[in-house]
Amino acid sequence: MLNLSAMPKLFLLIMIVSFGACKPSVLEPYGATPSASQLDWHDLNYYMFIHFGPNTFTNVEWGHGDEDPKVFNPTALDCRQWAATAKQAGMKGIIITAKHHDGFCLWPSAYSTHTVRESAWKNGQGDVLRELSDACREYGLKFGVYLSPWDRNHPQYGTPEYNQVFVNMLGEVLGNYGEVFEQWFDGANGEGPNGKRQEYDWVLFNNTVYKHQPNAIIFSDGGPGCRWVGNERGYAGETNWCTLNADSVFPGFPNYEELTPGHEDGTHWVPAECDVSIRPGWFYSPDTDDKVKSLEALMDIYYGSIGRGGNLLLNIPVDRRGLIHPNDSIRLMEFREAIDKAFADNLVKNATIKASFSKRGYPAENLLDENNRTYWAADSGNASLEIQFPSPITLNTLLVQEGIEYGQRVKAFAIDVWKDGQYQEVEQQTTIGYKRIIRFETQETDHIRIRILESKASPILAGISAYLAD
């Protein structure tokens, strides 16, 4: 048996000190940080938006709420086809316009007379939310809802009573269809049928969402879960802070240009979601069957949204049969194939990596393991990393991720490529955030360097990969 009393005190002390030296450093969070639900939300990257309702049949984008509900009559509606398409497209979920500004409810709401119940579809017996939530579960997709507070049909719109009507509708949508990953609140606020505008009770609306779905991400201009990116083209800012002074941003925020870069040093974690339609309009129209975005346009959106740390919410307007049109689904499959091809071969897989400094327990090797929850942590804002390839490679794309669990830190970084006996800078950029994909002219090299030029606190990165993308 070990006799501790017989051990020289000095030896014991050395043992204790050296044991302490092996313990990993403690990483301190910096500024606003994401919640567990927000961290999971970042990992979704890409999901489908579906605009569907009376507008699908009337060639308008904003119905007036006085349309005959009988116009809603899809002849072959099949939510399993939507879900199968989303799944094959590589998307992680579907968000549906349960109610757009015309007030028409895609479920038989007890609080409206402008719903699927009054429509011709299935003799008023149908429920799109039921069919879609079931299909999402079957295909392993997340289910989300868009619910417009602006209601151009409801007789109580523009009176204080309407807020309770909206809360009741939220209760139906969030209480009866299983898990809802995202609640989408549109900032548009116009007049109702009585010519009055509504004073929305956002605190009540948000509390209602959390009451029914505590883990849901609430989208609006100012979050609190995620924010509108400030445009409907699908592009995040080249500089993209996940933080926002959320108390000063509200749905319908007039200075919406600020939402593109976010607020550096913002008080809350409210990351950007990039919404865009695959066609010129949000709703289906036969006039746009030949105007589906090109593969090139979609790839550019991919790099401008996901490649700048935003999530991509791509709208696919379901057609008058209640199906995704072949022109859209063919393009979605081409898009998936192009993304898969671009990122199929990670060139760092046999490379070695060296950091200027690594905190104990956070070695640079963690950056090459394709796990974005293992980190490299540096000691100062000016750290650098060198990646050595076993033989020369050809690359034009670098993907970098920050350990956002601890806050967003990097403000500027550069990429150098070893050429003609020295490092040459090929790119300088600003923020990294959840994910940053940098494209540059094709280079041949056997080692590259990443220099963190400015960081709000000691940098913590989560991953680096390199590609030769088309």
Residues contributing to the site for ligand FUL (CB under 6 A): 61, 186, 188, 275, 282
- Cβ nearer to ligand FUL, comparing 220 with 429: 220
Residue 67 C-beta: closest distance to ligand FUL, Å? 15
- Cβ nearer to ligand FUL, comparing 285 with 408: 285
- Using the Cα atoms of residue 457, residue 462, residue 468 and residue 470 in order, give the sign of their dihedral: negative
Residue 114 C-beta: closest distance to ligand FUL, Å? 17
Residue 217 C-beta: closest distance to ligand FUL, Å? 16
Residue 57 C-beta: closest distance to ligand FUL, Å? 16
Residue 49 C-beta: closest distance to ligand FUL, Å? 7
Residue 63 C-beta: closest distance to ligand FUL, Å? 10
Q: Are 330 and 281 in contact (CB under 8 A)?
A: no
- Cβ nearer to ligand FUL, comparing 65 with 433: 65
Environment class of 123 (CB within 10 Å of its CB; exposed 0-12, middle 13-18, buried 19+): exposed
Neighbours of 139 (CB within 10 A): 19
Residue 99 C-beta: closest distance to ligand FUL, Å? 11
Task: Give 274's strand partners.
Answer: 312
Phi, psi of 46 (to 5 degrees): -145, 125
Q: For strand 311-315 and strand 182-184, is the pairing parallel, antiparallel, or unpaired?
A: unpaired
Which H or E element spans position 334?
helix 326-342
* Encoded tokens for 466: 């390199």
- Cβ nearer to ligand FUL, comparing 282 with 302: 282
Residue 168 C-beta: closest distance to ligand FUL, Å? 22
Q: Which residue of this chain has its Cβ atom nearest to ligand FUL in the complex?
A: 188
Which H or E element spans position 94?
strand 93-99
At 36, the amino acid letter reads A
What's the CA gap between 154 and 166, in Å, rounded? 10
- Cβ nearer to ligand FUL, comparing 96 with 347: 96
- Cβ nearer to ligand FUL, comparing 67 with 275: 275
- Cβ nearer to ligand FUL, comparing 27 with 60: 60
Q: For strand 182-184 and strand 217-220, is the pairing parallel, antiparallel, or unpaired?
A: parallel
What's the CA gap between 147 and 149, in Å, rounded? 6
Q: Are 305 and 42 in contact (CB under 8 A)?
A: no
* Encoded tokens for 76: 């072959």
Residue 150 C-beta: closest distance to ligand FUL, Å? 8
On the CB side of 267, CA atoms within 13 Å amount to 8
- Cβ nearer to ligand FUL, comparing 232 with 265: 232
Q: For strand 272-277 and strand 268-269, is the pairing parallel, antiparallel, or unpaired?
A: unpaired
- Cβ nearer to ligand FUL, comparing 127 with 273: 273
Phi, psi of 431 (to 5 degrees): -80, 160
- Cβ nearer to ligand FUL, comparing 96 with 353: 96
Residue 219 C-beta: closest distance to ligand FUL, Å? 10
DSSP for 358-408 reads: --TT--GGGGGSS-TTS-EE-SSTT-EEEEEEEEEEEEEEEEEEE-GGG--
